Amino acid sequence: MSENGNRPVWLALIAVVPGIIVGGVAPLLVAWQINANSIESRNANWARQDALAAVSVEKLDSIHDLVNSNMTAAIAAERNAHIATVTMMLEVIEMKRANGHEPNVKTLAALAVIEARIAELNATLADRAGQ
């Protein structure tokens, strides 16, 4: 065959090959780049979420410490108030007995309830001190 006989084949290849490259390879390259960008974006997002979680945990720990401290102070204040009440009740009972009178049964029952509550509060404070 002559050179002119191959010419239509070469012209066809010159016309088709770029179309195959553009139509077949280019979309694959674009998809690969989109996937690479997606992975990078996802990893950056995970890193940001991890950093945010670490800060949140630190803040929650601080809040937890403050709440525990305030709660311990409130428990101690309640216990101290009950101790003061028991002290006054015992003084009144002592004065009644000095005057020849026995304390009221309700007063003795209330004293027992308050003393039990003081014991509970003391146990709670001991538990908190051990934490």
State yes or no: pLDDT of 23 exceeds 60. Answer: yes
Average of per-residue pLDDT values in the chain: 86
State yes or no: pLDDT of 83 exceeds 70. Answer: yes
Write down the pLDDT at residue 54.
87
The helix or strand, by DSSP H or E, that contains position 85, with its residue range, turns out to be helix 26-98
Name the residue with higher pLDDT: 11 or 77: 77
Write down the pLDDT at residue 22.
67
Q: Which range is least confidently modeled, 18-32, 47-61, 106-120?
A: 18-32
State yes or no: pLDDT of 5 exceeds 70. Answer: no
State yes or no: pLDDT of 71 exceeds 70. Answer: yes
What are the extents of the domains in the chain? 3-130
In this structure, are residues 128 and 68 in contact, taking their beta carbons and an 8 Å threshold?
A: yes
Structure tokens at 60: 């929650």
Amino acid symbol at 56: S
State yes or no: pLDDT of 113 exceeds 70. Answer: yes
C-alpha torsion sign, points 41, 45, 51, 54: negative
Give pTM, 2 decimals. 0.59
In this structure, are residues 91 and 59 in contact, taking their beta carbons and an 8 Å threshold?
A: no
State yes or no: pLDDT of 11 exceeds 70. Answer: no
Give the separation between CA 115 and CA 79, rounded to whole angstroms: 10
